[in-house]
Amino acid sequence: MTNSSRKKTKRRNTKHPWLNAYPPGLEWDTNYEPKTLGVVLNDSVARFGDRVCTYFHGKTITYKEIGTLVDRVAKGLQKFGVEKGTKVGLLLPNCPAYVIYYFGILKVGGVIVNCNPLYTVEELDEQVQDSETEILVTLDLAVLFAKAEALLERGVLDKAIICPFAEMLPTHKSILFRLLKSKHLADLRKSEKRSRIIFGSDILNNDGDVESVKINPNRDIAVLQYTGGTTGTPKAAMLTHANLTINIQQVDAWSDSLLGDRERILGIIPLFHIFAMTTVLNFGISRGYELILMPKFDLDEALTLIAKQKPTVFPGVPTIYNAILHHPKTKSIDLSSLKFCISGGAALPIEVKRGFEAISGCSLVEGYGLSETSPVATCNPPKDSAVEGSIGLPVPATLISIRSIENPSTVLPLGEDGEICIAGPQVMAGYWQKPEETKDTFTGKFFRSGDVGHMDENGFIFIVDRLKDMINVSGFKIYPRRIEEAIYQHEAVEEVTVIGVKDEYRGEAAAAYIKLREGHSATRADILEFLKPKISKIEMPRDIEFRDELPKTMIGKLSKKELREEKSRSSSAGE
């Protein structure tokens, strides 16, 4: 080898393979400054005071106005007994009240407990008791207030703060809502629990001079984020201020080359979900971006909002991008305002990625994370460096290790499937009041994700499936995602979910549930014939069922849980 050829040879990094393909100008080995989320907001209010912070049903609020409202909420919370460590639940859809109370609670050292507005009273009861939530913040919409009132009646909740929905609307819409939709509003004064209800106006009735609270970002918990984790049992990930503010900085560094100083983020996915809380709320606020908030996902309304408000950043889940891709209205909607779309929450089918990019002209980048990692742990590089089918590379300051499923202390070679394990400053402090579960989900400093995948020689990570979704067919491990990816390639298929079902001969077998595209048709025989050259015989679905709709979670990702329960009930009935 000549001297000149030696100079051209670049030594590959085998310890951290992702450095072989890391985006130019981005440092992986970075030390980030832990901050409190209150400081993040204060900095943005000081820098971007005159910019629009939130857009909601036509009403805008500037950063300066948001800052003032947050301080008044913070002082009001202190007046009603919220102090450092007090657990405050947020039972709110995407709206300005969520933004204001989120930061108000955090400023006084309170701990946020995110609650799903679609939860039943029983589910909320369990979460409130487990988290030791003392106060719940919700709206005066009858459907939400009824749940808060029931929790007060049961005695599991001390107080409820009720915010007026109509006041978040433009003046004319507010008047019309009170006149024409009054039946949707609760009459708080007639409640039997009136003495334990705090009006939002009482919280705001002060000068905003907040009593200073000392918060240690590395130790103090900001959010209790409930998750099924790797076992399916709901538990709360304890996320510190440092976890969340460093994850903001990691996302900021990753997207900086693509985004400008002024962007508009479309807030379709619910803010109570960790994905939106970081990529829409925390990240958007830190950059001084406008948050376009939708309280409830409706595809037609979302497309209209995109056409009118021209968002540039759009975090979403695969089913939302897929729905837009196949919606007849999409052909007449201008999607060209979109600069950066990030998909999370579930695996992004390659056909969906390609199709959405074709109709929007926007790069759709797949990222990966969990509630326990605040959530972003990996992401595909923007623009032309993304690798299809991959969840990308570790974000700065993050280590990814592929470990043996049977023995998590064993690191596997590149290319071999194992459990994806994650270490970094965004990884949770542990599960709330569950030391044994916390211990079991870590191997050393690495968090065990419960996802199976492998890493290639350039550090790109590929998810095979969830450990709990794996199907054991005659002793062979079969992964639903591989079957789903193959079925998605059929032109008639819009959505598909594959689960494992009991099989007398093989132990388990695959069952596919398919929603067809409008105007298309396919039979079981068509699908099986299409799959023959794509997957092995052992992976071939035993059952194929066509449905008008497939079950989804609150954030819109396809859910296997309901299908498993349905299959279990039918099996029990047949015994």
Residue type, 70: V
Dump pLDDT digits (tens) for 420-475: 999 999 999 999 999 999 999 999 999 999 999 999 999 999 988 877 888 888 66
According to the model, what pLDDT value does residue 537 have?
87
Q: What are phi and psi of 135, to 5 degrees?
A: -130, 140
Task: State the pLDDT at residue 471.
Answer: 87
The structure tokens listed for 501 are 């079902």
Structure tokens at 117: 């507005």
Token couple for 395? 């974000």
CATH top-level class of 224-466: alpha beta
Residues 411 and 401 sit within 8 Å (Cβ to Cβ): yes
Do 224-466 and 67-215 fall under one CATH topology?
A: yes
pTM score: 0.86
Residue 404 CB partners (closer than 8 Å, separation 6+) = 410, 411, 412, 418, 419
Q: Going by C-beta distance under 8 Å and a sequence separation of 6 or more, which residues neighbour residue 238?
A: 221, 224, 428, 429, 430, 431, 432
| 531-574 pLDDT tens trace | 999 998 889 999 999 999 999 987 788 989 899 888 877 766 55
Cis peptide before 396 (omega within 30 of 0): no
Q: State both tokens at 120.
A: 């039943």
**Which CATH architecture best describes the domain 470-574?**
2-Layer Sandwich (3.30)
CATH code at 67-215: 3.40.50.980
Q: CA angle, corner 252, sides to 264 and 58, nearest 5? A: 15
Q: What is the C-alpha to C-alpha distance for residues 257 and 486, in angstroms, rounded to an integer?
A: 34
Write down the pLDDT at residue 88: 98
401: helix, strand or coil: strand
In angstroms, the CA 106 to CA 282 distance is 12
Q: Alpha helices, DSSP H only, in 461-513?
A: 480-488
**Angle at the Cα of 328 (from 326 to 330), degrees rounded to 5?**
80
What is the amino acid identity at position 142?
Answer: A
CB 379, CB 279: distance < 8 Å: no
Give residue limits of the domains in the chain: 67-215, 224-466, 470-574
Residue ranges in the chain whose pLDDT is less than 50 = 1-9, 229-231, 575
Which distant-in-sequence residues (6+ apart) come within 8 Å of 407 by Cβ?
none
Residue type, 346: A
Q: Which helix (H) or strand (E) holds 143?
A: helix 142-154
